[in-house]
């Protein structure tokens, strides 16, 4: 019986080891209490901002050498990432926390702007300079950029949390904290429905 029990324990440990997947954690994610305070401080309003164009937010700037923002995030969020002389990821493994999928080809991943550029435009970025919009689109200091499954990112589009949430409910807490931090840092507004959704998501923390 002792041998059988030991075998079961060993098997359980082995399964746990196999299933343990690293979660992508962009920098600057606040604590739950900090996120609650930051959410309370956000201005609630709806801006009727027309004229959005993705080109108004210059993105994927060169960060160092030949590495641009996308390549830096792929290297940060992946495991055992190998890059070539142009800084393109040639191999590695990436876990997408939005849907729980794991990928081994960088081409299967998009770099998501947590707060979409179009949403930012409608939340106050329409009044920014191009230089400030460029900083926002390439923000590596706050939890604004994350590598996720490409078609999941495309399905998200420019939707706010009252319309779209990650399919993995276990990530709702983190996602809400990321979204709140970005809006707070960049002094962007939220809609009433968006604030309500974020409040509910924080309750899962």
174's CB contacts (< 8 A; 6+ apart) are 23, 25, 29, 97
Query: pLDDT digit string (tens) for 8-19?
Result: 333 332 323 223
pLDDT at 79: 95
Given a cut of 90, whether residue 21 has pLDDT beyond it is no
Q: Given this model, what pLDDT does residue 37 score? A: 98
The predicted-structure confidence for 140-178, as pLDDT tens digits, reads as follows 999 999 999 999 999 999 999 999 999 999 999 999 999
User: What is the band of 98 on the pLDDT scale with cuts at 50, 70, 90?
Assistant: very high
Residue 64: the pLDDT is 87
pLDDT of residue 129 exceeding 70: yes
User: Whole-number mean pLDDT of the chain?
Assistant: 89
In the prediction, which pLDDT does 135 show?
Answer: 98
Q: Is pLDDT above 70 for 22?
A: no
What pLDDT sits at residue 91?
96
Work out the percent of the chain whose per-residue pLDDT is above 70.
88
């Amino acid at each position: 019986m002792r041998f059988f029990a030991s075998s079961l324990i060993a098997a359980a440990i082995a399964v746990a080891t196999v299933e343990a997947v690293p979660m992508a954690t962009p920098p600057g994610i606040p604590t739950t209490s900090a996120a609650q305070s930051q959410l309370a401080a956000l201005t609630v309003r709806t801006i009727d901002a027309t004229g959005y164009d993705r080109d108004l937010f210059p993105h994927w700037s060169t960060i160092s050498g030949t590495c641009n923002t996308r390549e830096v995030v792929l290297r940060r969020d992946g495991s055992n990432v190998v890059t070539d002389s142009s800084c393109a990821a040639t191999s590695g493994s990436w876990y997408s926390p939005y849907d729980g999928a794991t990928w081994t080809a960088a081409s299967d991943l998009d770099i998501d702007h947590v707060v979409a550029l179009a949403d930012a435009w409608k939340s106050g970025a329409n009044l920014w300079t191009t230089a400030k919009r460029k900083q926002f689109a390439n923000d590596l200091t706050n939890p604004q950029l994350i590598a996720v499954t490409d078609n999941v990112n495309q399905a998200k589009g420019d939707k706010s949390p009252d319309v779209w949430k990650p399919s993995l409910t276990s990530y709702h807490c983190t996602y809400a904290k990321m979204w709140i931090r970005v809006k707070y840092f960049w002094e962007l507004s939220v809609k009433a429905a968006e604030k309500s959704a974020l409040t509910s998501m924080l309750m899962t923390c």
